[in-house]
């Protein structure tokens, strides 16, 4: 999988912690596309280079170049495959010129240009798909991610804000804008956005229940605090989340990972136990593995010991690449065109 927006940096010791935000209580509460229905062990945020919607997951589904020189924007394609895709793109372009609102042609053009690694060329069909499908925010999120990848940070931010203006609780847009702020070293802007979202959540949810997923926003806010090493504030927000929803395994798991990050393994253990007991069956094994890796001592390298002469504790587990969702860092792969390619 290609993380389109990755800068090569990551949160030290907090990758596993990132995984808990998207899983909603004992079940995923909303039907969402695979790129956001993440298994617990997948990172859903990569804050120093937000990369949650991999525009190019579909690029590597047909060709898996092994060269380390391959980049997100220029995937290596066999010459024949390159020619085929270019022909398909030209065919879709002709259809779109005749029928600018043809959804199958637009989707086909979008998918083909992504397979070619042409992010700039994907912008026009994405803009049109977003305009034609205002209620399907996946296209607008993809558009924001693509703009961010191309260096248009302000354009990306404006796109995220436009989503939030009409859908204030949209977690995809919140994650995207928060990730962009943190990438730009503007943590206070990220914190302010999330705090404002929480302040307005009650009246918004009173008018339309479920509009703002308060627990998920709290978890995201805690992650920003943790990224800034403001652990006291992170723990406070998780304590609040634990108090308001005692059946959700994510807040105790998040708090446990924060405590572990601080070296407070003994305090973290009962929280891991609680999280494991609350987790739905599909996540119990992952939670148990996180707990095991976070609390078991790690054997020191030969000749190396921790300053106190004891074995160094295990570092927090990194996100697993298994079961990667279609996600520029994990977003929906472009919807597959239902019509046959006009270029074939």
Question: pLDDT for 300-344, tens place per residue?
Answer: 444 444 434 444 433 333 333 333 333 333 334 443 434 344 444
Q: What is the pLDDT of residue 299?
A: 54
State both tokens at 226. Answer: 């943790």
Report yes or no on 316 lying in a domain: no
pTM to 2 decimal places:
0.67
Residue 87 lies in a domain: yes
pLDDT surpasses 50 at 39 = no
Count Cβ atoms below 10 Å from residue 40 Cβ, excluding itself. Answer: 25
Is position 230 within any domain?
yes
* Residue 307 is assigned to a structural domain of this protein: no
Does any domain span residue 272? yes
Q: Kindly state whether residue 344 falls inside one of the protein's structural domains.
A: no
CB-based contact 268:256 (threshold 8 Å) = yes
Share of the chain above pLDDT 70, in %: 64
Q: Who has greater pLDDT, 119 or 327?
A: 119
Residue 303 lies in a domain: no
- Find all residues with CB under 8 Å of 228, minimum gap 6, and list them: 187
Number of domains in the chain: 1
20 vs 202, residue with greater confidence:
202
Does 329 map to a domain? no
End-to-end Cα, the chain, rounded Å: 27
Compare 127 and 339 and report the one with higher pLDDT: 127
CATH number of the domain residue 240 falls in = 1.25.40.10
pLDDT at 313: 39
Question: Residue 42 pLDDT > 60, yes or no?
Answer: no
pLDDT confidence of residue 53: 35
- C-alpha 110/C-alpha 331 separation (Å) is 14
Which residue range is the domain that position 86 belongs to? 15-295
């Amino acid at each position: 999988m290609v993380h389109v927006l990755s800068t090569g940096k990551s949160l030290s010791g907090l990758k596993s912690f990132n995984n808990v935000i998207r899983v909603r209580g004992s079940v995923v509460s909303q039907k969402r596309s695979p790129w956001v229905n993440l298994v617990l062990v997948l990172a859903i945020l990569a804050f120093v280079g937000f990369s949650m919607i991999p525009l190019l997951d579909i690029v590597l589904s047909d060709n898996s170049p092994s060269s380390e020189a391959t980049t997100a924007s220029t995937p290596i394609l066999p010459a024949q495959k390159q020619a085929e895709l270019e022909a398909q793109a030209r065919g879709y372009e002709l259809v779109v010129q005749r029928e600018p609102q043809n959804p199958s042609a637009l989707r086909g053009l979008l998918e083909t240009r992504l397979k070619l690694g042409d992010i700039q060329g994907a912008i026009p069909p994405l803009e049109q798909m977003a305009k034609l499908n205002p209620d399907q925010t996946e296209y607008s999120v993809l558009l924001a991610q693509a703009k961010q990848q191309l260096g248009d940070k302000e354009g990306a931010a404006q796109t995220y804000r436009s989503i939030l203006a009409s859908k204030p609780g949209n977690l995809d847009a919140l994650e995207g804008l928060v990730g962009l702020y943190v990438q730009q070293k503007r943590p206070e802007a990220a914190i302010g956005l999330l705090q404002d979202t929480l302040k307005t959540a009650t009246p918004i949810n009173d008018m339309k229940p479920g509009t703002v997923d308060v627990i998920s926003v709290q978890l995201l806010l805690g992650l920003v605090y943790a990224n800034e090493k403001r652990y006291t504030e992170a723990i406070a927000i998780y304590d609040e989340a634990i108090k308001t929803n005692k059946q959700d395994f994510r807040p105790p798991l998040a708090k446990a990972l924060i405590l572990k990050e601080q070296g407070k393994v003994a305090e973290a253990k009962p929280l891991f136990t609680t999280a494991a007991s609350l987790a739905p069956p599909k996540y119990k094994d992952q939670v148990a593995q996180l707990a095991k890796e976070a609390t078991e001592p790690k054997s020191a390298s030969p000749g190396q010991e921790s300053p106190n002469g004891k074995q160094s504790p295990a570092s927090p587990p990194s996100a697993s690449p298994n079961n990667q969702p279609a996600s520029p860092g994990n977003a929906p792969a472009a919807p597959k065109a239902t019509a046959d390619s006009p270029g074939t």
